[in-house]
Amino acid sequence: MPPSSASLFPEKPPHGVPVLLPLPLGGTYDYAVPPGLHAEPGSFVVVPLGPRRMLGVVWDRTPDAPAPAIKLRPLIEVLPAPPMRPALRQFIDWVANYTLSPPGAVLRMAMSAPTALEKPAIRAGWRPTGTGVGRLTPDRAKVLEALAAHSPQPGEALPATPAVLRGMAKAGMIEPALLPAAPRFTPPDPEHPGPALSETQAGVAEALRARVAAHEFSVTLLRGVTGSGKTETYLDAVAECLRHGRQALVLLPEIALSSQWLARFRARFGCAPALWHSELSPAVRRDTWRAVAEGSAPVLVGARSALFLPFPDLGLIIVDEEHETAFKQEDGVVYHARDMAVVRARFSEAPCVLVSATPSLETIANVEAGRYSELTLPTRHGGASLPEIEVLDMRAHPPERGRFLAPPLVEAIEATLARGEQAMLFLNRRGYAPLTLCRTCGHRMQCPNCTAWLVEHRAQRRLQCHHCGHAEPIPVRCPECNAENSLTAIGPGVERVQEEAALLFPDARRLVMASDNIPGPAAAAEAARRIEDREVDLVIGTQIVAKGWHFPHLTLVGVVDADLGLAGGDLRAAERTVQLLHQVAGRAGRAEAPGRVLLQSFSPEHPVMQALLHHDLGAFVAEEKAQRAPGHWPPYGRLAALIVSGEDPVETARIARALGLAAPEMPGVQVLGPAPAPLAMLRGRHRHRLLLKAPRGIAVQPLLRAWLARVEVPNAVRVQVDVDPVSFL
């Protein structure tokens, strides 16, 4: 919108409507409404943009920005879709303002299924044939049972993986059938009998239900040790939300790893919830978006982007594992879904519940300041005890040469397997080895596009960059000194631990769980099933295995390198390590048999190990607070990062320096940098960072805006703003 034209013709009344387009542009564009069309704020409209037609949303006119008096092009069409609600429009504006993103870029996230606004298409689902010959596995029985109750149903609504359904179709047990034009999600039944809650759980559930019934904004931290029944308890709040006829949104950090969670949901409500994540097919995306907009998806479970769905009447938001960094979106619009969930709840006048066994310091600080309330489940459900945690001093118990498992851990695994119980080895590193170097000249194999070592993936006989995806065969000769067969693997990844386990425990049935071999929800669900059904004795995995799994026969967890996460040394390295290791440890001993956890560490005296050893997270949090508060580090102050990147190293450095010189000067505000980023090169782009630190009382957005306005940035250089950064790479 040209800002000057309005003031030239101040006497003309505003006409036309402002339309926000899902593009990273400055603001809204005005369009005339042709006679006979009715467009109100929130209406989805088709407008001309240059030679193109584009879908946009009629936006709210900001009071201080009158409409331009130039001749406006008319709208082409007003779509017969429910208008976007004020709560979502306000949320989009708020997120744009907070993250310094163009509002259109945020709107794009709210319009991620544009075909949802078109006419419903014909879709296929499954119906039972009543015949067919095939083995009646429990999964298949469940599918037939679901179809007996209601048929046809879309594949996603059935309690089995696509592979199972295909198998059943092949066996002639089910066949494709057309679905009714407007597919509906089965409404979850709040009165479907769930497990009887314990007295403590019931108390907490009652408090949560009261917040739902209040129909007003509130934020509650639901804190409870792993296995205390947090999920069971908040599902009760979801039931209450359903009774009030409002929609509930549950955010999970890794929806692809949530098969057990979904099974729990089905057990509690008698049907599956609507799902939202990046791997949905376009058709399912469209139907889900539409169902949410129509209010016919009463419960939606999703990844962070679900926050931007068009709920007409949101009555509850749950953020499970609220401390997870997976809630931070790092590219495009950079936002933290946990924090934005709170904002979305505020605009929707709904309660927000943050759930964790190890809450973030941010959330703890909000509880201490009285902004959030807290409910606690202090013990594991059903009398299961917390696992016994030991720190294995690797200096006192060195592994054999070329090995990574200390003798006491090897013995503990042997004993566990001998008892017929399951064990797990955790190492948060994919591949075979994180570093390959030449024994002759010391050359390290590095990514050509990134400041990163190449990781060996032995099974594929390749070296891979985990940042940009670059891959190359493992060379026979050192590229530097030409020495033959001189390249050697340094350090372990899960594949190497698996190799060692194969030597040590040849009879154990082993399963590796890393993103390389668990590419999606179906593979994760299958892996979980194999562990549950005791087809596996020893699980070896990356952080995938740490997530909320419930494996009743798993009694031993060995952490191969408990110091790993401490190395990077950023602000939250210790906090994140405690959270991750606590969560891994929480996989052990979740049923009758007590669990045991061994942490291999070279610094057993580190506060992180001590906190885990003594189950004393309170002391750890107090210590972190004492370290962060005086210097106004988050959550006792605010941070915002500028990441300057470009292909031309000289030009990029020049802009970074210019930003450094133009840095805001204000009492209490500090700007660190510019400095080359730890990932000084990423995907071929050179990177510099600046970090602004301010006391809590200062809003950083106006400072950032004024700062950025002082420096002219050429197109070839990009300046990304990251308010409340989580990653410092």
Q: Which residues bind ligand ADP (CB under 6 A)?
A: 195-198, 201, 224, 226-232, 381, 550
Residue 375 near which of Zn ion, ligand ADP, none (CB within 5-8 Å, type-dependent): none
Q: Name which of 184 and 192 has its Cβ closer to ligand ADP.
A: 192
Of these, 55, 95, 433, 465, which contacts Zn ion (CB under 5 A)? 465
Residue 713 near which of ligand ADP, Zn ion, none (CB within 5-8 Å, type-dependent): none
> Least distance to Zn ion from the beta carbon of 685, Å?
11
Residue 450 near which of Zn ion, ligand ADP, none (CB within 5-8 Å, type-dependent): Zn ion
> Least distance to ligand ADP from the beta carbon of 183, Å?
30
Residue 468 near which of ligand ADP, Zn ion, none (CB within 5-8 Å, type-dependent): Zn ion
Distance CA 227, CA 460 (A): 38
Using CB under 5 A as the binding rule, whether residue 681 contacts Zn ion is answered as no
Q: Which of residues 46-105 bind Zn ion (CB under 5 A)?
A: none
Of these, 23, 37, 207, 468, which contacts Zn ion (CB under 5 A)? 468
Q: Name which of 20 and 271 has its Cβ closer to ligand ADP.
A: 271
Dihedral angle at the C-alpha atoms of 299, 301, 307, 311, nearest 10 degrees?
-20
Q: Name which of 452 and 580 has its Cβ closer to ligand ADP.
A: 580
Distance CA 701, CA 176 (A): 54
> Least distance to ligand ADP from the beta carbon of 224, Å?
5
> Least distance to ligand ADP from the beta carbon of 547, Å?
11
Q: Three-state SS string across 280-323, please?
A: CCHHHHHHHHHHHHHCCCCEEEECHHHHHCCCCCEEEEEEECCC
Instruction: Please answer whether residues 247 and 241 qualify as being in contact, where contact means their C-beta atoms are separated by less than 8 angstroms.
Output: yes
Q: Name which of 205 and 608 has its Cβ closer to ligand ADP.
A: 205
Give the range of 102-110, 153-161, 425-433, 446-454 binding Zn ion by CB under 5 A: 446-454
Of these, 174, 212, 447, 691, which contacts Zn ion (CB under 5 A)? 447
Using CB under 5 A as the binding rule, whether residue 470 contacts Zn ion is answered as yes
Q: Got the DSSP string for 226-275?
A: TTS-HHHHHHHHHHHHHHTT-EEEEE-S-GGG-HHHHHHHHHHHSSPPEE
Residue 447 near which of Zn ion, ligand ADP, none (CB within 5-8 Å, type-dependent): Zn ion
Of these, 309, 317, 334, 450, which contacts Zn ion (CB under 5 A)? 450
> Least distance to ligand ADP from the beta carbon of 534, Å?
16
> Least distance to ligand ADP from the beta carbon of 229, Å?
3
- Class of residue 303 by CB neighbours under 10 A (exposed 0-12, middle 13-18, buried 19+): buried
Q: What residues does 48 pair with on adjacent strands?
A: 53
Residue 449 near which of ligand ADP, Zn ion, none (CB within 5-8 Å, type-dependent): Zn ion
Distance CA 211, CA 133 (A): 51
Distance set, CA 116 to CA 75, 92, 285, 728 (Å) = 20, 19, 8, 37
Q: Name which of 386 and 679 has its Cβ closer to Zn ion.
A: 679
Instruction: Please answer whether residues 478 and 440 qualify as being in contact, where contact means their C-beta atoms are separated by less than 8 angstroms.
Output: yes
> Least distance to ligand ADP from the beta carbon of 195, Å?
3
> Least distance to Zn ion from the beta carbon of 677, Å?
14
> Least distance to Zn ion from the beta carbon of 449, Å?
4
> Least distance to ligand ADP from the beta carbon of 521, Å?
19
Which residues lie below 8 Å from residue 244, measured CB to CB, with a gap of 6+? 212, 213, 215, 315
Q: What residues does 670 pair with on adjacent strands?
A: 693
Closest CA to 707 of 667, 655, 664: 664
Which residues lie below 8 Å from residue 459, measured CB to CB, with a gap of 6+? 432, 495
For residue 221, the surrounding DSSP H or E stretch is strand 218-224
Using CB under 5 A as the binding rule, whether residue 449 contacts Zn ion is answered as yes
Residue 467 near which of ligand ADP, Zn ion, none (CB within 5-8 Å, type-dependent): Zn ion
In a 3-state reduction of DSSP, which class is residue 428? coil
Residue 698 near which of ligand ADP, Zn ion, none (CB within 5-8 Å, type-dependent): none
Residue 154 near which of ligand ADP, Zn ion, none (CB within 5-8 Å, type-dependent): none
Q: Name which of 232 and 421 has its Cβ closer to ligand ADP.
A: 232
Q: Name which of 70 and 471 has its Cβ closer to Zn ion.
A: 471
Q: Name which of 23 and 207 has its Cβ closer to ligand ADP.
A: 207
> Least distance to ligand ADP from the beta carbon of 622, Å?
24
Q: Name which of 229 and 565 has its Cβ closer to ligand ADP.
A: 229
Give the range of 2-10, 200-208, 248-256, 464-472 binding Zn ion by CB under 5 A: 464-472
Q: Name which of 321 and 495 has its Cβ closer to ligand ADP.
A: 321
Instruction: Please answer whether residues 78 and 44 qualify as being in contact, where contact means their C-beta atoms are separated by less than 8 angstroms.
Output: yes
Dihedral angle at the C-alpha atoms of 489, 493, 495, 496, nearest 10 degrees?
50
- What distance, in Å, lies between the first and last C-alpha atoms of the chain? 37
> Least distance to ligand ADP from the beta carbon of 122, Å?
39
Of these, 142, 215, 397, 467, which contacts Zn ion (CB under 5 A)? 467
Beta 554-559 vs 538-541: how paired, if at all?
Answer: unpaired
Within 10 Å of residue 563's Cβ, how many Cβ atoms?
18
Closest CA to 557 of 539, 535, 531: 539
Q: Name which of 54 and 468 has its Cβ closer to Zn ion.
A: 468
> Least distance to ligand ADP from the beta carbon of 358, Å?
12
Distance set, CA 215 to CA 244, 269, 306, 397 (Å) = 9, 22, 21, 57
Closest CA to 413 of 491, 495, 502: 502
Please count the residues of this chain forming the interface with Zn ion, following the rule CB under 5 A.
Answer: 7
Q: Name which of 234 and 372 has its Cβ closer to ligand ADP.
A: 234
Q: Name which of 222 and 463 has its Cβ closer to Zn ion.
A: 463
Distance CA 363, CA 17 (A): 41
Closest residue to ligand ADP, Cβ-based?
229
Distance CA 695, CA 368 (A): 17
Q: In degrees rounded to 5, what are phi and psi of residue 326?
A: -60, -15
> Least distance to ligand ADP from the beta carbon of 427, Å?
23
In a 3-state reduction of DSSP, which class is residue 505? coil
Q: Name which of 310 and 595 has its Cβ closer to ligand ADP.
A: 595
Residue 227 near which of ligand ADP, Zn ion, none (CB within 5-8 Å, type-dependent): ligand ADP
> Least distance to ligand ADP from the beta carbon of 266, Å?
12
Cis ω before 387 (30° cut-off from 0): no
Q: Name which of 218 and 231 has its Cβ closer to ligand ADP.
A: 231
Which one-letter DSSP state was computed for residue 190? T
Give the range of 104-112, 318-326, 443-451, 583-591 binding Zn ion by CB under 5 A: 443-451
Beta 487-490 vs 510-513: how paired, if at all?
Answer: unpaired
| Chain positions contacting Zn ion, by CB under 5 A | 447, 449-450, 465, 467-468, 470
